[in-house]
A = this chain, B = another copy of it.
Amino acid sequence: MLAAAAELLDESGYGKLSIEGIAARSGVAKSTIYRWWRSKADLVMEAYTEVTARRVPGPDTGGVQEDLRVFLDTLYRVNANAGRARVLRGLMAEAQLDDGFRAAFQEWIQSRRTLMSTILMRGVERGELAEDLDVEYTVDSVFGPFWYRLLVGHAELDPADAPKHVAQLLRGAGYRAP
């Protein structure tokens, strides 16, 4: 079923996805799908994270600068994968419309944010970043532009720009090379 969902997502996007369609494609009864997932979004979320979440720990290279660069590089590569980008956009959309799904989605987002804030807090501890840094806001300064461009689609984030962005972020965060 997850496979069928993934296929259909690739073919026509989240908006056109229907439980009935997945059932038909996977040769499974609708009721069986409902037994296992509460909604389209839950299913898709699982289909997505199954592929994705190899429980990648955030990078730990010993320096904030490099940690950030690696993280952003990885993050920006998602843009390149049209299918994955479409899925993310669909999940975010669903989270706005379905309160039930919203919580699950928030949790997932939170797990991603934690990776980032761990990196930053290590930087603070090491004295690389300002002691009074607003970590939460800085985390959102990384993910915010990413999602914003993904959702609005006015421009793409190029992995090649990651170092430049890291520099700007670090300057803002009071970076001082150790």
Contacts and interface: CB of A to CB of B under 8 A. Distances in A.
Given A93-B96, A97-B15, A165 B137 contact: yes
A172 interface: yes
Interface of A: 14-15, 89-90, 92-98, 102, 105-106, 109-110, 113, 134, 136-138, 140-141, 143-149, 151-155, 161, 164-165, 168-174
B154 A106 contact: yes
Contacts of A153: 102, 106
A143 B146 CA distance: 11
Contacts of A93: 92-94, 96-97
12 contacts: A15-B96, A15-B98, A89-B96, A106-B153, A113-B154, A137-B164, A141-B145, A143-B144, A145-B145, A147-B147, A147-B148, A171-B174
Contact of A144 (B96, B106, B147): B147
A114 to B, nearest CB: 11
A157 to B, nearest CB: 9
Contacts of A15: 96-98
Nearest to A168: B172
A172 to B, nearest CB: 3
A60 to B, nearest CB: 24
